[in-house]
Amino acid sequence: MFNFSGKKPNNLGIKDGKLTACPGTPNCVNSQSNDAKSKIEPLPTESIAQIKQVVEAMEGTTIIEETGNYLYAEFKSKLMGYVDDVEFYSDQESNAVQVRSASRLGKSDLGVNRKRVEEIRSKLQ
């Protein structure tokens, strides 16, 4: 119906073993964050392929990039067409999958990004 997709960020990906920090708005969660508001627990150690299966089965998902230790997907909301960028990084050093989920537009997402990561976590268990 609507299309509030925004521009794809140009700072995504893994840099020095880290996903991009959240911008300080409440519409982002990141397992590598030091900020309590955006902090979320990493996912249990799973393969990127297992996470991809879960993510692909979710509504509004498009896989954008996949490597051996990294997965990047876009989630588009049904009604308004908002796009969230979601990244997964299999971090061998911490023996966990780091995750970042952020809205492209606006400031508040009403907890959608956090809920999505927790839904993925529950489906992996």
- Which range of 15-19, 79-83, 90-94 scores highest in mean pLDDT? It is 15-19
Q: How many domains does the chain have?
A: 1
Q: Which has the higher per-residue pLDDT, 84 or 5?
A: 84
80 is in which domain, residue-wise? 28-124
* Residue 18 belongs to a domain: no
* Residue 22 belongs to a domain: no
Model pLDDT, residue 86: 98
Model pLDDT, residue 1: 52
Instruction: Output the domain CATH number for residue 112.
Output: 3.30.310
CB 62 within 8 A of CB 71: no
pTM of the complete model beyond 0.75: yes
* Residue 8 belongs to a domain: no
**Average confidence (pLDDT) over 34-55:** 91
Q: Which has the higher per-residue pLDDT, 80 or 25?
A: 25
Model pLDDT, residue 4: 65
